[in-house]
Amino acid sequence: MIYDSIVIGAGLGGLTAAAKLAKEGQKVLVLEQHDVPGGCATTFHRKKFTMEVGLHELDGFGENSFKKKIFDELGVFDEIEFIRLPEFYRTVWKDTDFVFPESLEEAKAKLKKEFPEETASIEKYFRFVTGLGKEIENMPRTKRQKRIKGSLFPFFYPKLARSTLNSAGGFLDKLFHDERLKMILLSNSSYYHDDPYELSLFYFAAGQNSYYSNGSYFIKGGSQKLSDYLMRYIQKQGGEVLLRQEVTSIIIENDRAVGVSYLGEKKKGSPEIQVFARQIIANAAIPQVAGKLLPGVSARRLQQQIAHLKPGPSILTVYLGFNKPPKEIGNENYSTFVIDNSVISTKNIAENYHEGFDKRSFVFVDYGMIDSGLAPEGKATGVICTMDYAADWAGLDKEAYRKKKESVAKILIARLEKVLPGVEKIIEYKETGTPLTIQRYTFNTEGTPYGFAQTLSQTAKKRLPVKSIIPGLYFASAWSSPGGGFSGAVLSGYTCALKVLYDARNEE
Ligand SMILES: Cc1cc2nc3c(=O)[nH]c(=O)nc-3n(C[C@H](O)[C@H](O)[C@H](O)COP(=O)(O)OP(=O)(O)OC[C@H]3O[C@@H](n4cnc5c(N)ncnc54)[C@H](O)[C@@H]3O)c2cc1C
């Protein structure tokens, strides 16, 4: 059978692309190597706990936001419950203990009260960030608008232009004097990249605006609910989603991607199955496509195109099951960023992430602060997370790897104990996921969930567009444009589908 589109991978980018294409009447096949859909947007079960693999905070749904429109169109809100979080985050650093409110106006007022000498700069900061958000919302949608506005880019989009020329750290240095204020504003910059002085202001400000202006959310029951919903949606529209099917190569004929070979049920030695389609969409990591899935000349062309692009950092997570909610021992916040006291200023944030785990700054997310649906009555789950790198775990044998995971969990839990006394005692279950774990379950190069690093030199336009240089091959993932995170992956999937539909129409 010839499909219209075959999607390699059922992460959020792949699922969104397939959902839109199936809705538009395409015959779609999604092949996923894991036994659940979602990639990083999944959960797993231990004892009676549901552990959330990836989601801490999803940025909100402004009336004009692309995510709201996409989720509206795909009926997501009819079945999935998004829980608004009580605050953005708490920062603990030296003598600073600051809770960042979830409402923009409250946040501004609180920051001005805490840092009165920076009042004018605080206003400027929020004016820039929210202004950038408005420019993004008003980006041209039609070719005609693009022609008119595109030619006048810096005049129509001055904030957008500026955001692609500055780093987040550099921008804040120019605005503010107080290190504490900068640290508060950059506490969650690790959501985008590990070094705020490399992090493109575009990614930071666009993402932060979405949180500041539209709130932060968690998905009731965990992100698996969203991934499962999208899979069902594709199936209801007549599409197929096959789990435990690993794509081993992309078939190229006359320089065009025309199909894929895959291992049914991932059984070694079982014959490879070939399927064909008009378009192939890779949700799989672009370096994997270039290094493993494409043959010959096509592989070399793509390798050359990405040779200068650097993958983003990865994440280490200690998953925790509590025998009672941490709020019963005094925790008051959903997410707490603990910046290590050895960090002197925002300039040291990046080097701190390469320190030992006894010094690396971390975030504690307490899902028990909301009605998350992740734990049985009277219990709760949480995670401790820090930036990490696959190289930190390379070359260890099975036993050494296990021991290192145990020791890292112990160190991080002991450090959390200092911020939240009594937490050690309420831990009923713990498990550590490393960059190698992310790599193993999602095949993401270096275990990065963000795709190519969201640095100044790799800002949106310099990333790979959703249409690849190989005819018939498209990308829908954090590795492509616009970038990483739930929202980035969903947008990439949707734009990819639009491009596929446009090309299909124009080829007919
Ligand atoms: C610990 C952690 C915390 C995070 N926190 C947040 C957060 O709070 N907020 C936020 O917005 N984002 C967060 N993220 C990031 C976000 O989850 C990811 O950026 C996003 O989900 C990536 O989606 P994707 O579509 O690019 O694909 P991925 O999730 O990477 O999925 C790719 C899929 O393709 C499949 N695949 C790959 N190769 C093949 C093959 N050859 N054959 C078949 N299938 C294949 C994989 O199995 C996988 O299912 C977090 C991620 C992690 C890991």
Decide if 135 is inside a domain: yes
What pLDDT score was predicted for residue 107? 97
Task: Average the pLDDT over 78-92 and give the result.
Answer: 97
Ligand 1 proximity of 32 Cβ (cutoff 6 Å): yes
Is 176 in the same domain as 140?
Answer: yes
Residue 447 lies in a domain: no
Give the residue carrying structure tokens 């840092």.
115
Reading the block at residue 80, the tokens are 């999935």
Same domain membership, residue 226 and residue 205: no
Q: pLDDT (tens digit, 9 = 90+) per residue, 18-44?
A: 999 999 999 999 999 999 999 999 999
Q: By percentage, how much of the chain surpasses pLDDT 70?
A: 95
CATH number of residue 154's parent domain: 3.90.660
Classified as helix, coil or strand, 496 is helix
Number of domains in the chain: 2
Tell me, yes or no, whether 64 and 94 share the same domain.
no
Scanning the structure block, which residue is given the tokens 């378009």? 279
Q: Residue 152: its pLDDT value, please?
A: 55
Atom of ligand 1 nearest to the CA of 479: 26
Atom from ligand 1 closest to the CA of residue 476: 25
Q: Give the ligand 1 atom nearest the CA of 38.
A: 49
216 lines ligand 1 (CB under 6 A): no
Q: Does residue 24 sit in helix, strand or coil?
A: coil
Question: Quick one: pLDDT band at residue 147, thresholds 50, 70, 90?
Answer: low
Residue 467: DSSP 8-state:
B
Least confident range of 93-102, 168-177, 265-274, 431-440: 265-274
Check residue 1 and give its pLDDT.
67
Please tell me the predicted confidence (pLDDT) of residue 265.
77
Q: What is the pLDDT of residue 254?
A: 95
Question: What residue's CA is closest to ligand 1, atom 19?
Answer: 485
Q: Which residue of 283, 320, 386, 446 sits with most ligand 1 atoms within 8 Å of its CB, as the best mutation to test the pocket?
A: 283
305 and 315 assigned to the same domain: no
Residues 177 and 241 in one domain: no
Q: Cα(436)–Cα(444) distance, rounded to whole angstroms?
A: 9
Within 338-397, where are the H helices? 349-352
Residue span of the structural domain in which 388 resides: 86-219+311-441
Q: What is the CATH number of the domain that holds 488?
A: 3.50.50.60
Average pLDDT, the chain: 94
Say how far apart CA 168 and CA 189 lie, in whole Å: 9
59 close to 214: Cβ distance less than 8 angstroms: yes
Q: Are 43 and 51 in contact (CB under 8 A)?
A: yes
Distance between alpha carbon 17 and the CA centroid of its chain, in Å?
16
Mean pLDDT of 294-307: 96
Indicate if ligand 1 lies below 6 Å from the C-beta of 294: no
In-domain check, residue 451: no
Per-residue pLDDT tens over the stretch 34-80 = 999 999 999 999 999 999 999 999 998 988 889 999 999 999 999 99
pLDDT in tens, 462-490: 789 999 999 999 999 999 999 999 999 99
pLDDT at 148 over 60: no
Question: Rounded distance, CA 464 to CA 469, Å?
Answer: 9
User: How would residue 270 be classed by pLDDT, with cut points 50, 70 and 90?
Assistant: confident
Do residues 105 and 58 both lie within one domain? no
Q: Are residues 23 and 90 in the same domain?
A: no
pLDDT score recorded for residue 135: 86
Q: How confident is the model at residue 143 (pLDDT cuts 50, 70, 90)?
A: low
284 lines ligand 1 (CB under 6 A): yes
Secondary structure E strands in 369-434: 380-388, 427-433
